[in-house]
Amino acid sequence: MSETFHPIVAESDFPEEGKIAARLEGWSVLVVKTDDGFRAVNDRCTHQAALLSPGRVRRGAIMCPLHGARFEAATGRCIGGAYADLRVFPLRIENGMIEVAVPDTAPGPDERPVGV
Ligand code: FES
């Protein structure tokens, strides 16, 4: 499956709250800032498909705002709850711009968050 990098935001303009959501080729993407750098995941909880972007990000973990599942941003691994891991997208910084790669094909129904 091919994928393409898309610009999100300049690193210098990254929001102070430590997260930003974007739509890329139909994918809902959540980019978070951790102590180890920026990470990008599918903005969809693996429990009941809620958007994760309204949730909190603390100590490298993303917390689902609906029922509180937690996911490690770096790996997508579920660390609070017994749910599947998040899909992690490749991220790079090119000339100060944060870029995320998503598949060139649109997400299927089980990869899209509720209401999107
Ligand atoms: S939808 Fe995220 S924990 Fe239930």
Q: Give 17's strand partners.
A: none
Give the ligand 1 atom nearest the CA of 45.
Answer: 2
pLDDT score recorded for residue 61? 97
Of the CA atoms within 13 Å of residue 69, those in its CB half-sphere come to 22
This prediction's pTM: 0.96
Residue 110: strand, helix, or coil: helix
Q: Ligand 1 mean position to 73 CA, how many Å?
A: 16
**Residue 97 contacts residue 14 (beta carbons within 8 Å):** no
Residue among 64, 79, 112 whose CB has most ligand 1 atoms within 8 A, to mutate: 64
Percent of all residues in the chain with a pLDDT value above 90, rounded to a whole number: 96
Sorting pLDDT into bands at 50, 70 and 90, what band is 90?
Answer: very high
Structure tokens at 81: 């709850």
**What is the structure's pLDDT at 50?**
98
Domain 3-104 is found in CATH 3.40.50.300:
no
Confidence label for 116 from pLDDT (cuts 50, 70 and 90): confident
Segments making up each domain of the chain, as ranges: 3-104
Q: What is the pLDDT of residues 33-68, one digit of tens each?
A: 999 999 999 999 999 999 999 999 999 999 999 999
